[in-house]
Structure 1
């Protein structure tokens, strides 16, 4: 009796289950776990999915469909990845389909596009409506079109009913054409035809071309490029563009030589990823404090899987990383080097390239999708890359033989994915991934997160401290300026205190550089009417619009909606609209007025959207083409610049007063990190912190570089108010298009949860921003004490969410879970 085999497949849909398909006999020997397959889904859709399990058990609940085709000779995803995906989906309360969508580059996921074809064998029977005639007339000429094209050409708002009617009459048919997102990059290559691999034939060719002077020149240029008309060179190939450049010939001229059979032209696949032409340098010798730290890390790795390297800014942590990476490569292992921000990869990549050359791969969202597919393929097939440097999505790459994961600036909240699901934290996920590979984890930072440092206290992680700056550079001198006193004494120039202006003047006169930090982009956070206090708000989000002067528009930083600056107040008609507050764009404008001779640049999301713009900004600052760099938190993260003597933190209060239990922790981290940009490789730098409250304990701890005091005081508060790391948090966001329904649904869910979890439930309540993209939001928070089974809690939560969304009154409600929110 023939056995029928089945595959459980992960599809890119947000449904909490796998889908079972029958494996046709022709594919039984081709399918493996992790292979990509094409399957039908529903009546018309076609998806590519990943095989998660193979078995011979037919589902009882539904009729199985067959796999249409297998895309890979070898699996695109390995078994460790599938286990990792399962952990992500389970821990972060999302579906495997959502993890699949986040993990694979778009180029490896196929898309289905509905095409409508004209049936040329169909015979009209005279019963067509006017709309059907319009569609058929268009298709009779075009032969094939998409539904979207039919809507546009026929001016029908929805042509689907007409198409459905014509399908029933067999006047046309529908196909689902799969589009592959990734196409290999190729270049045209020229070689000598095999027939001409004989000297006599080449002599004949020269004779035959004696009258075609230009073609003869091309042939002579070809032989020059391959090193001469010697039999050893006959099999060599050259780039068609090189031949055109050398001979000055056109493509048509080369084509003539191909027609005559002298040349052969073909495509050769090339990498989109740049190759390093630099001479590789050896690793630098570690100084005595670095060597002690390096030896201590290796010693602690013997009985600890994770170690925290707590090193002050500019202590030389990166050099220690390089030594550890080199050691792993020599052992035949791979390394993942995680960074929190794309801006950081530019500097660190150039540094690592000088040591590891083409063994270093880069992976982040500023790479094109085709480039990301090539990195994925290289890692999957163990080609060139021994070390990958990348941002949080790099944890999804198909590693094998992973020996070490380095998580640089481990405290950064950008390691947390917010939207869409999976809402994972790359630091925590990387530790689980390392465990699956039997690899070690090194967490590096000058300002550890409370969670990480608590794990050190509990002896879960090892600890290595490096509190001496490289080459004995002193820690920067940090001074505070009381902005209220400066305003009262009329010493402020725009948003700059007299102390900061004087310090900047001194720095610029000495040819030194200045960094100004303001953690808000745009020109002004909002506009306000002086007469009635009206503030322009986004039509789709419950947030004020930010004014961007360069484009003279108001923009919502949540949904991207923008419109022109209003001339008058929309509430009272008054023309007296004024900007309030200040962003990086406003700082840039004011600085250019105060220091007209200084070269000024701004680094924020508006000026550094692309990979090249990041690299250009950083390169200009390094080469001395910029005197004053103004930026948001992008400039706070590990950038290493010479000759920065002055750093100004323009508004510490905006960070300290943010309504979040992590506000003090983040303020300490940001101020300490920004301060660390001063005095590197040069001399002691100076940091000016402008604040209305110089006695704030966080500011005092930053001035004294006292992390332990900051840690202890924050831990007391966290314990008193039941926050991490003492308690686990899970946020549930209830979303609906209607505000009343959002309120009712969240109240219903809140009461349901309270009946199960009692006092652990906080809310529901409206978040700070209660409407985004026309979705009304309500938040419910669960505080979970130690010792409670997190898996059991999540199971009960999933049941509660299902109860809500299947309730007749709340079917259009969306509930998003965020485990360990930031």
Structure 2
């Protein structure tokens, strides 16, 4: 039996560390399990076991791990292998990947707490200084605080040197406490105190409440609700549902608990919808879609990755739905990646109608508790599921992936820029799929250059869908050379005559117009016309955006705002002007060109 364990810590460390396994934990320890280990000075972290062995390392003292947190591993095969690939390919540590992959609620970390020594007496020959008294006064309000809370309470910065002095004089004690953010969601449920089928006990219950009409009403409501919700099992009903159904107060329920008829208890429930959906079959495919579907199936026989190059509105999502349905019927799982959260909302209703509760959503707007719940669901439930999510979904503990769909594969949102790991979810998803023996479908109307090259070279399969659904014509695109128009002095403000004419035609036909501009605010930059001075954010060193509505400059990185100067601080001249145009300026200009048309931004 192995006596040593290599673990990965949630720290940017480029090696695994070895810990001794206590004899009473050797049988319980498995690869992929979380363990609490000491690291550094009085710090404890949640580490994950990556290897069990008996080879003593050289160069450092082997410490003993504190405890095992899991009865079953929180990672599946081949997640550790996938983490190692990301660390190697994107030049970061496995600890960086661990921090990004595992929800915070599954990571225990120690938190330094400071406790007041109530027996401390100040000696006459060594009086405390003012800062030390201020800290003790702040600590006296709660007697135990974290270092961060103590800084806030005292209003002092850099309190560690002062704390060190108080610690040496035994005025305070410092300890480490393990903390986690995850709390399962619970709800109060009500059940009968006797077993189902005990007719004598049920008759006795009705005898107890026959003089109290409201209690009798609640008992009948319990039986109705329990039979309806649980198909004949008189076991449990949520407290809220029971009160809503019976229409009586909680005091009546309390009286029935005192009589020994009902028993309340806490039950862990899901944070997500538990609605039962009426599913329907995916919409039938058009002839062009059927051809593309068959070509994708044939391509998967020869290639592990296939590019579906389909024009806008060609019905790629319907093809995805049929492919997903096939994989789910095979008992496997599907990962459906989209580049941004807005698309998960848009697709949820469409996919929910077809796949019901087999659909799971995962993105960064979920709370940490919700992410932990999704993680645990995938660990414990082996049924076929489809996960619709953004780039972080690739780290979920899939049991048996059968298909990975990367929608809008060309989108730059799939690239994580900061912090590490700086991975590209599309490329990482292809590797993840190969580790599960799954196929990857890349869908887009405008393939990335590297993807299209790989498809043309035969590395990926290529399927093209060139017609829109129901043979709807593609919109006409009219490119206009704005630079040339400016040279000829034909621009009307920031608009070309062609654009204004087309807008007028649409408005005359009682139609609407959408203008896209990829800059916020009134102008993306402010510059002195005399000396070319440009104001920049003192925190981010980027040029500031001018917002006319608030008459201020804003940094779109950190959100800091600045007053716009009346004169240039470099040359002292009142020659500060705006450069370029954003949505705010477009809105103002449109109102001048079309004064009777309402404009929304």
TM-score by length of 2: 0.89
2:3 maps to which residue?
5
Q: How does 1:596-675 map to 2 (within 5 A)?
A: 602=601
| 1:209 aligned onto 2:212 | yes
Distance 1:595 1:318, change over 3 A: farther
CA shift, 1:226, in A, is 4.1
Task: Please say if 1:193 is aligned against 2:196.
Answer: no
Q: Of residues 102, 114, 132 in structure 1, which corresponds to 2:100? A: 102
Residue 544 of structure 2 is aligned to residue 545 of structure 1:
yes
- Which residue does the alignment assign to 2:561? 562
User: What is aligned with 2:280?
Assistant: 281
Shift of 1:558: 3.1
Cross-structure match for 1:149: 149
Counterpart position of 2:436: 437
Shift of 1:14: 1.1
Superposed CA offset, 1:136-181 (max 9, x none): 5654663311223333444553433343344445554322222212
Q: Distance in 2 between matches of 1:400 and 1:240?
A: 35
Q: Could you tell me which residue of structure 2 aligns to residue 19 of structure 1? A: 17
Contact 2:227 2:233 in 1 (8 A): no
Q: Which residue of 1 aligns with 2:109?
A: 111
Q: 1:515 to 1:124 in 2, by over 3 A?
A: same
Query: Aligned residue for 1:661?
Result: none
- In the TM superposition, 1:217-232 aligns within 5 A as 218-219=218-219, 221-223=221-223, 225-226=225-226
Residue 393 of structure 1 deviates from its aligned partner by 1.2
- 1:112-261 matches, within 5 Å, as 112-119=110-117, 129-131=127-129, 135-136=135-136, 139=139, 142-154=142-154, 156-194=156-194, 198-207=201-210, 209=212, 218-219=218-219, 221-223=221-223, 225-226=225-226, 235-251=234-250, 254-261=253-260
Alignment partners' CA distance in 1, 2:193 and 2:590: 65
**Distance in 2 of aligned mates of 1:335 and 1:27:** 36
Structure-2 change in CA distance of 1:219 and 1:571 (3 Å)? farther
CA contact under 8 A between 1:293 and 1:464: conserved in structure 2?
Answer: yes
What corresponds to 1:89 in structure 2? 87
What does residue range 344-355 of structure 1 map to in structure 2 within 5 Å?
344-355=343-354
**What is aligned with 2:420?**
421
Per-residue deviation, 1:548: 3.2
Counterpart CA distance in 2 for 1:283 and 1:436 is 29
Relative to structure 1, the CA distance from residue 581 to residue 135 in structure 2 (aligned partners, 3 Å threshold; closer, same or farther) is closer
In structure 1, C-alpha distance between the alignment counterparts of 2:279 and 2:119, rounded to whole Å: 67
Asked if 2 retains the 8 angstrom alpha-carbon contact of 1:359 and 1:386, the reply is yes
Deviations 1:579-635 (CA, angstroms, capped at 9, x unpaired): 321223433454456557767655xxxxxxxxxxxxxxxxxxxxxxxxxxxxxxxxx
Q: Is 1:447 the equivalent of 2:450?
A: no
Aligned residue number for residue 263 of structure 2: 264
User: Once the 2 structures are TM-superposed, how far is the Cα of residue 126 of structure 1 from its aligned partner?
Assistant: 6.2
1: CA distance between counterparts of 2:212 and 2:370?
Answer: 43
Q: Distance in 2 between matches of 1:325 and 1:531?
A: 62
SS of equivalent to 2:78: helix
Shift of 1:16: 1.1
CA deviation after TM superposition for structure 1 residue 206, in Å:
1.7
Contact 1:378 1:384 in 2 (8 A): no
| 1:314 maps onto 2:313 in alignment | yes
User: 1 CA distance for matches of 2:205 and 2:233?
Assistant: 10
Residue 679 of structure 1: aligned partner: none
Contact 1:113/1:177 (CA < 8 Å) preserved in 2? yes
**Is this contact kept in 2: 1:119–1:171, CA < 8 A?**
yes
What SS does structure 2 have at the residue aligned with 1:266?
A: strand
Assess if the C-alpha contact under 8 Å between 1:360 and 1:386 holds in 2. Answer: yes
Distance in 2 between residues matched to 1:57 and 1:98, nearest whole Å: 26
Provide the residue aligned with 1:758 in structure 2. none
What is the TM-score of this pair, normalised by structure 1?
0.67
Contact 1:78/1:398, CA 8 A, preserved across alignment = yes
Q: Which runs of 5+ in 1 are unaligned?
A: 603-822
1:378 aligns with 2:377: yes
Q: Distance in 2 between matches of 1:390 and 1:180?
A: 25
Residue in 2 aligned with 1:738?
none
CA contact under 8 A between 1:92 and 1:424: conserved in structure 2?
Answer: yes
- Whether the aligned pair in 2 keeps the contact of 1:89 and 1:95 (CA below 8 Å) is yes
Greater CA deviation, 569-578 or 63-72?
569-578
Give the Cα separation in 2 of the matches to 1:4 and 1:383: 30
Q: Would the aligned equivalents of 1:192 and 1:234 in 2 still touch at CA under 8 Å?
A: no
Counterpart of 2:468 in structure 1 is 469
Give the secondary-structure state (helix, strand or coil) at the position aligned to 2:586.
Answer: helix
Tell whether the 8 Å contact from 2:2 to 2:26 is kept in structure 1 after alignment: no
Q: Deviations over 1:105-137 (max 9, x none)?
A: 222222321112235677877666324555556
Q: CA separation of 1:120/1:79 partners in 2, compared to 1, >3 Å: closer, same or farther? A: farther
Q: CA deviation at 1:298?
A: 1.0
CA spacing shift, 1:458–1:148, aligned 2, 3 Å: same
Q: Which residue of 1 aligns with 2:46?
A: 48
CA–CA separation in structure 2 for the residues paired with 1:562 and 1:255: 56
Q: Is the 8 A contact 1:289 1:466 kept in 2?
A: yes
1:519 to 2:522 alignment: no
Is the Cα–Cα contact under 8 Å of residues 363 and 388 in structure 1 kept in the other structure? yes
Work out whether residues 114 and 174 of structure 1, in 8 Å CA contact, stay in contact via their aligned partners in 2.
yes
d(CA) in 2 for partners of 1:333, 1:599: 52
Q: Which residue of 2 aligns with 1:77?
A: 75
Query: Residues 718-770 of structure 1: CA distance to partner in whole angstroms, max 9, x if unpaired?
Result: xxxxxxxxxxxxxxxxxxxxxxxxxxxxxxxxxxxxxxxxxxxxxxxxxxxxx
Q: Is the 8 A contact 2:332 2:384 kept in 1?
A: no
Assess if the C-alpha contact under 8 Å between 2:226 and 2:234 holds in 1: no
CA contact (8 A) 1:316 1:470 kept: yes
Residues 762-795 of structure 1: per-residue CA shift (max 9 Å, x gap) = xxxxxxxxxxxxxxxxxxxxxxxxxxxxxxxxxx
Map of 2:390 onto structure 1:
391
Structure 1 residues 316 and 207, CA, compared in 2 at 3 Å: closer, same or farther? closer
Distance 1:157 1:464, change over 3 A: closer
> Which position in structure 2 is the counterpart of 1:329?
328
* 1:368 matched residue in structure 2: 367
2:456, 2:462 within 8 Å by CA — same for their partners in 1?
Answer: no
Distance in structure 2 (CA, Å) of the matches to 1:304 and 1:29:
43
In 2, Cα distance between equivalents of 1:232 and 1:418? 52
Q: Name the Cα RMSD after superposition.
A: 3.1
Distance in 2 (CA, whole Å) between partners of 1:434 and 1:564 is 51
8 Å Cα contact 1:6/1:57 also seen in 2: yes
Structure 1: distance between partners of 2:169 and 2:533: 60
C-alpha contact 1:360 1:385 (8 A) present in aligned 2: no
Q: Are the aligned partners of 2:276 and 2:357 in contact in 1 as well (CA < 8 Å)? A: no
Kindly indicate whether the alpha-carbon contact (under 8 Å) linking 1:338 and 1:408 is maintained by their aligned counterparts in 2: yes
